[in-house]
Amino acid sequence: MRTVITGGAGFIGSHLCDYLIEKGHEVICIDSLLTGKAENIGHLIGNNHFRFIKHNVSDYIYIDGHVDNVLHFASPASPSDYLELPIQTLKVGSLGTLNSLGLAKLKRAKFLLASTSEVYGDPQIHPQREDYWGHVNPVGPRGVYDEAKRFAEAMTMAYHRYHKIDTRIVRIFNTYGPRMRINDGRALPNFMYQALRAKDITVFGNGLQTRSFCYVSDLIRGIYQLLISDEHEPVNIGNPEEISVLQLAKEIVALTGSKSKIVFKTLPVDDPKVRQPDISKTKKILGWEPHVSREDGLRNTWIYFQDVLQKTDDASVNKST
């Protein structure tokens, strides 16, 4: 199996590279390194089942030889990233998806789109099932990501229906774990950073908005199961255990024994009030459900972030001496 992963140096993409290499695939990772990081794939350099191409997939993608799978994971994915990179986010969701689908068509490869729970916007149906069409503000600041992914889904289904490409769409809910950028602006890394540095923990709004956090190894296993399934319609993958953002902040303070205090800041525009995947379809067609508890997942992530900050501190000490 020869598999192209766009966004392969990102948080989720790099875990997919590892997983597929373990499954015997030859992986070609394409990443512009705009939000992805070379460190995430550093351990794979020199592996003869791995190749890295630094390229922005919003521009034409050229790959020689045959390709069996194209997995399109390239995109800024944290709200603060896509607010800072609105045009790049729209381009990679539209032109990047078009180029990735074009590659799959040329090579007669299977195509898998990384979509998102953001296609449901600020949902009025709770929990979210795949047949819910969503509640998205197209002209709000989050619209650049939500609409790009909605367009990407439409484009994927068009290539499936018109060009008969063998496609998959995964709607990924909040995911966390090692290789998240500690400064990517999302709640979980922010809270861990703030706890580690004894800074105030910034809960936005009253903190009663909810999310459901899935550990990255569970997500990757689900994506693989979807890839080898026959399902062409979108499938939710996420952990249905729903908690409030305030509860998450409290759990992180308790886990880390931090002296940080929780403070409340303004809620960002169009911030979804609730989010929880309905995974009954996923369970039924993939036999998938998450295994990693939040307690274990948070602990592993905490160990990772401690290590990252330690290395940053060591590097700044070395620089100044």
Distance CA 313, CA 318 (A): 9
Nearest 5°: CA angle at 158, between 64 and 154?
A: 105
Question: In which residue are the tokens 């199961």 written?
Answer: 225
| Of positions 3, 32, 174, 212, contacts ligand UDP by CB under 6 A | 174
Using CB under 6 A as the binding rule, whether residue 297 contacts ligand UDP is answered as no
Using CB under 6 A as the binding rule, whether residue 186 contacts ligand UDP is answered as yes
Which C-beta is closer to ligand UDP: that of 8 or that of 238?
Answer: 238
Report in angstroms the alpha-carbon separations of 13 from 253, 273, 308. Answer: 29, 28, 19
Q: Which 78-137 positions form the footprint of ligand UDP (CB under 6 A)?
A: 79
Which C-beta is closer to ligand UDP: that of 78 or that of 99?
Answer: 78
Strand ranges (E), the chain: 2-6, 26-31, 50-54, 69-72, 110-116, 167-172, 175-176, 201-204, 210-212, 214-215, 234-237, 242-244, 262-265
Using CB under 6 A as the binding rule, whether residue 204 contacts ligand UDP is answered as yes
The two tokens of residue 243 are 């908690």
Question: In which residue are the tokens 């903190």 written?
Answer: 207
- Catalytic annotation on 162? no
Which C-beta is closer to ligand UDP: that of 15 or that of 211?
Answer: 211
Using CB under 6 A as the binding rule, whether residue 216 contacts ligand UDP is answered as no
Using CB under 6 A as the binding rule, whether residue 35 contacts ligand UDP is answered as no
| Of positions 3, 115, 209, 256, contacts ligand UDP by CB under 6 A | 209
201-204 and 175-176 strand pairing: unpaired
Which C-beta is closer to ligand UDP: that of 45 or that of 269?
Answer: 269
Which C-beta is closer to ligand UDP: that of 56 or that of 260?
Answer: 260
Distance CA 101, CA 83 (A): 26
| Of positions 203, 226, 227, 308, contacts ligand UDP by CB under 6 A | 203
State in angstroms the smallest separation of the CB of 194 from ligand UDP: 8
The two tokens of residue 211 are 């999310």
Residue ranges binding ligand UDP (CB under 6 A): 79, 174, 186-187, 190, 202-204, 209, 211, 245, 267-268, 271
